[in-house]
């Protein structure tokens, strides 16, 4: 099964990506996690992206597209994957399409977790107190939400126009949202197998 998981910063997509990955036995591939890991281990990629991440700005498409294309050919991703946080721009949509066409594979679905902006802000500010993420400051949070609105919502609209998007209410406990997602995805897995 090949899925995209879309959602604003603070929508809980990282948490739900882990749950989906376990339930369906596919790797959850998070561009945010890959970039943070690169920064933490001080690789050339890490040096290239650390300031952008800390500022809440997107990494250029050309860099992100290559990171994803390389990840998708790893052995664990041959039979399926869940992309968390990619594609985030219309340019990345085209790159992913080209990459998938090259490998002769197709998407099974696009899942969007929907959470109202006030709730997102509340969650992100709370997380800023708990975790030590460089991009969880009030200023950066506002920027990431604006970037999401400007660049990523059009991506959801584009997939929605081709009838691909399933929207799931992201307000509630982690378990509640996970159940809503499973209700949507279980039938898809049956048809994908
Ligand atoms: P969030 O959804 O909370 O912003 P992520 O972990 O998905 O968290 O992303 C963190 C940061 O990593 C982004 O603000 C951006 O700088 C970078 N990033 C992640 N995915 C992408 C992407 N697809 N394109 C460009 N930059 C990305």
Q: If residue 74 lies in a helix (H) or strand (E), which one and from where to where?
A: none
pLDDT at 148: 96
Which 3 state secondary structure label does DSSP give 78? coil
Residue 130 has what pLDDT? 81
The token pair that represents 37 in the structure block: 């890991």
Is the shortest distance between the CB of 148 and ligand 1 below 6 Å? no
Q: Would you state the pLDDT for residue 108?
A: 93
Token code pair at residue 118: 């006030």
Give the chain's domain count. 1
Range of the domain at 154: 2-192
- Euclidean distance between CA atoms 114 and 186, whole angstroms: 19
Question: Does the C-beta of 100 come closer than 6 Å to ligand 1?
Answer: no
For residue 6, CA distances in Å to 9, 84, 86, 112 come to: 10, 7, 8, 5
CATH classification of the domain holding 45? 3.40.50.300
Higher pLDDT, 51 or 189: 51
Which atom of ligand 1 is least distant from the CA of 35?
12
Whose Cα sits closest to atom 6 in ligand 1? 32
30-53: average pLDDT:
97
What is the per-residue pLDDT for 171?
A: 97
* Gap from CA of 4 to ligand 1 centroid (Å): 14
> Could you give the CA distance from residue 59 to residue 148 in angstroms, rounded to a whole number?
13
**pLDDT tens digit sequence for 168-177:** 999 999 999 9
Q: Is 7 in the pocket of ligand 1 (CB under 6 A)?
A: no
Most distant CA atoms of the chain, gap in Å: 45
């Amino acid at each position: 099964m090949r899925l995209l998981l879309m959602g604003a910063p603070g929508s809980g997509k990282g948490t739900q990506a882990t749950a989906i990955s376990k339930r369906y036995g596919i790797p959850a591939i998070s561009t945010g996690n890959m970039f943070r890991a690169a920064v933490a281990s001080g690789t050339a990629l890490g040096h290239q992206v650390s300031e952008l991440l800390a500022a809440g700005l997107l990494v250029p498409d050309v860099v992100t597209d290559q990171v994803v294309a390389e990840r998708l050919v790893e052995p664990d991703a041959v039979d399926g994957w869940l992309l968390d946080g990619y594609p985030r721009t219309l340019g990345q949509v085209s790159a992913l399409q080209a990459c998938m066409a090259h490998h002769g594979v197709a998407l099974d679905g696009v899942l969007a977790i929907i959470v109202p902006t006030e709730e997102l802000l509340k969650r992100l500010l709370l997380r800023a107190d708990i975790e030590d993420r460089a991009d969880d400051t009030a200023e950066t949070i506002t920027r990431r939400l604006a970037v999401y609105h400007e660049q990523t919502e059009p991506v959801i609209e584009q997939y929605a126009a081709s009838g691909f998007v399933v929207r799931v209410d992201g307000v509630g406990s982690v378990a509640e949202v996970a159940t809503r997602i499973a209700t949507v995805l279980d039938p898809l897995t049956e048809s994908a197998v």
